[in-house]
């Protein structure tokens, strides 16, 4: 058995209760085989064994009191996966499905994504099994305060800098920062990103992941001498990433036909009106079905994955992991899909990716395509350090440049290893080589 497969077998045995983590590792390892053949010194230094073991895993109790006075206890996590390139960096997810395996898969992916941005950030991720749905604003605040009461001793602008992810947006980051400031003293705002604009947030951070996705797709289209003209898209999710991806696509002339939430999807043949999505999902925080109240011609379909039955040129999974399975991939191909653009982390199963590749679909893998969010977080850190604020245009130009460079480095790495235009493998290889270089230089740690 070759080195890569033997390390994977060892990891499978050690982490058998963490299928999402194993899936993420398997996918990266498949791309790395030619790299290990070419660089035997990596094997000698046990690089893969070290890479898959987080540098630090913090698990803690989060007690909080609801509006009726009842006490609840949730579990909090922060995984400081790899700090060889810079302070650990990555979001916090609040969702009932969160457990150590989810946080580890997200943290593992984050290492390579952050490396691809070209900015000095290591990989980390965190969260809680707390369910924000149906909670009052005061309950959310009390939960965030309790979460930060433990987390604050493990983070810092030069140590670990969390941000948002599913269930954690501007409101939650505000409460988390308030509690950090209260406990830590001083105004150390480089400790979190995704902050509000009045206390150190960066312009464009809110939009960055969604906009970055579309900038990345634009590079793919340029490369293949294609354009956005007369194209259609469907998007899963209707949260932060989905919303701003839709906004940028629409501004480029693409018709966005459908969006979804965890219960079902809405199909509007005239093109989704984002003002309604904002009202329903971001302000009222209710089911996407409410869209039909505003536009009775739109159609609501219930069920997971219904969005992938709608014919489109571009499919953008922007909700959660393992959203596109093999049967969805088959439907998308049969319906004439041109490109898959991954906004969520690991939204496509490995079998579905293989099927899409086999059928010539252009694939923008999450690690590269959704890296605009964390890249802009790193720009927020830079502004906090120099105590300066760049304009919207300045940050947006930097974001476009970063997405262009990520596309180029993924393509070049793929080409260098004789794989042609395979951005899935190229992103894994380019991200890995940067981390590998830093780890080799820093000795056996």
Ligand X SMILES: O=C(O)CCC(=O)C(=O)O
Ligand Y SMILES: NC(=O)C1=CN([C@@H]2O[C@H](COP(=O)(O)OP(=O)(O)OC[C@H]3O[C@@H](n4cnc5c(N)ncnc54)[C@H](O)[C@@H]3O)[C@@H](O)[C@H]2O)C=CC1
Interface with ligand X (CB under 6 A): 89-91, 113, 163, 165, 193, 345, 370, 373-374, 377
Residue 263 tokens, joined: 């219960």
We find the least distance from the C-beta atom of residue 440 to ligand Y, in angstroms, to be 28
367 touches which of ligand Y, ligand X, none (CB within 5 to 8 A by kind)?
A: none
Using the minimum distance from each CB to ligand Y, give the nearer residue, 87 or 372: 372
Structure tokens at 134: 């149906």
For residue 425, state whether it binds ligand Y (rule: CB under 6 A). no
User: Please, which residue, 79 or 257, has the CB nearer to ligand X?
Assistant: 79
Pairing of strands 255-260, 264-267: antiparallel
Q: Is 172 in the site for ligand Y (CB under 6 A)?
A: no
Minimum distance from residue 347 beta carbon to ligand Y (Å):
7
Nearer to ligand X by Cβ, of 78 and 89: the residue is 89
- Compute the least distance from the CB of residue 114 to ligand Y, in Å: 11
Among the candidate windows 176-184, 330-338, 339-347, 389-397, which touches ligand Y by CB under 6 A? 339-347
Is 165 a residue that touches ligand Y (CB under 6 A)? Answer: yes
User: Measured from the CB of residue 67, what is the shortest distance to ligand Y in angstroms?
Assistant: 22
Distance, in Å, from the CA atom of 340 to the CA atom of 337, rounded to the nearest integer, reads 8
217, 243, 314, 362 from 227: Cα distances, Å: 10, 21, 12, 14
* Cβ at position 424, least distance to ligand Y in Å: 16
Q: Which of 82, 320, 348, 414 binds ligand Y (CB under 6 A)?
A: 320
125 is catalytic: yes
d(CA 172, CA 273): 27
* From ligand Y, ligand X, none, interface partner of 90 (C-beta below 5 to 8 A by class): ligand X
Taking CB under 6 A as the criterion, the residue among 28, 161, 166, 399 binding ligand Y is 166
Contacted entry of ligand Y, ligand X, none for residue 193, CB cut-off 5 to 8 Å set by kind: ligand X
Which of residues 160, 207, 261, 396 is near ligand Y by CB under 6 A?
261
- Asked if 202 touches ligand Y (CB under 6 A), the answer is no
Nearer to ligand Y (CB atom), residue 262 or residue 350: 262
Q: Does 209 bind ligand Y (CB under 6 A)?
A: yes
Measured from each CB, the residue nearest to ligand Y is: 239
**Which of the residues 104, 125, 135, 248 is marked catalytic?**
125
- CB burial of residue 262 (10 Å; 0-12, 13-18, 19+): middle
What residues from 359 to 388 belong to the interface with ligand Y (CB under 6 A)? 370, 373
303 vs 336 by CB, closer to ligand Y: 303
Nearer to ligand X, 266 or 378 (CB): 378
Q: Stretches 159-167, 221-229, 425-433, 435-443: which one binds ligand Y (CB under 6 A)?
A: 159-167
CA 200 – CA 131 distance, rounded (Å): 28
Q: At what angle do helices 100-116 and 392-416 cross, to 10 degrees?
A: 90
Q: Which residues bind ligand Y (CB under 6 A)?
A: 164-167, 169, 209, 237-242, 261-262, 318-320, 343-345, 370, 373
List active site positions: 125
């Amino acid at each position: 058995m070759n080195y890569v497969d033997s390390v994977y077998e060892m990891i499978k045995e050690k982490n058998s209760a963490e299928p999402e983590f194993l899936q993420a590792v398997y996918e990266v390892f498949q791309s790395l085989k030619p790299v290990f053949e070419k660089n035997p010194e990596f094997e000698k230094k046990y690089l893969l064994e070290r890479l898959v073991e987080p540098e630090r895993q913090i698990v803690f109790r989060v007690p909080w009191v609801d509006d009726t006075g009842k006490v609840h206890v949730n579990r909090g996590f922060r995984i400081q996966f790899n700090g060889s390139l810079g302070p650990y960096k990555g979001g916090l997810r609040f969702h009932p499905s969160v457990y150590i395996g989810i946080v580890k898969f997200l943290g593992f992916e984050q290492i390579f994504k952050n490396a691809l941005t070209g900015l000095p950030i290591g990989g980390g991720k965190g969260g809680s099994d707390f369910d924000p749905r149906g909670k009052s604003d005061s309950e959310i605040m009390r939960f965030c305060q309790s979460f930060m009461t433990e987390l604050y001793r493990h983070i810092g602008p030069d140590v670990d800098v969390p941000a948002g992810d599913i269930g954690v947006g501007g409101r939650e980051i505000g409460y988390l920062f308030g509690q950090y400031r209260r406990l830590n003293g001083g105004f150390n705002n480089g400790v979190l990103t995704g902050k509000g604009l009045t206390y150190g947030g960066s312009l464009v951070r809110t939009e960055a992941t969604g906009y970055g996705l579309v900038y990345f797709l634009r590079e793919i289209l340029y490369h293949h001498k294609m354009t956005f003209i007369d194209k259609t898209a469907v998007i899963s999710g209707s949260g932060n990433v989905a919303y701003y991806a839709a906004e940028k696509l629409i501004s480029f002339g693409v018709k966005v036909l459908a969006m979804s939430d965890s219960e079902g999807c809405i199909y509007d043949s005239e093109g989704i009106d984002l003002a309604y999505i904002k009202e329903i999902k971001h302000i009222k925080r209710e089911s996407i079905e409410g869209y039909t109240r505003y536009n009775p011609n739109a159609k609501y379909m219930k069920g997971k994955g219904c969005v992938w039955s709608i014919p489109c040129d571009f499919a953008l999974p922007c909700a959660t992991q393992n959203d596109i399975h093999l049967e969805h991939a088959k439907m998308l191909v049969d319906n004439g899909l041109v490109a898959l653009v991954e906004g969520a982390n690991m939204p496509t199963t490995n079998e579905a990716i293989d099927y899409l590749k086999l059928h010539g679909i252009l694939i923008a893998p999450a690690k590269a395509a959704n890296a605009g969010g964390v890249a802009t977080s790193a720009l927020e850190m830079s502004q906090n350090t120099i105590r300066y604020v760049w304009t919207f245009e300045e940050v947006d130009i930097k974001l476009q440049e970063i997405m262009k460079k990520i596309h180029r480095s993924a393509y070049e790495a793929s080409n260098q290893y004789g794989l042609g235009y395979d951005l899935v493998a190229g992103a894994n290889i380019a991200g890995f080589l940067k981390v590998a270089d830093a780890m080799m230089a820093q000795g056996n740690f």
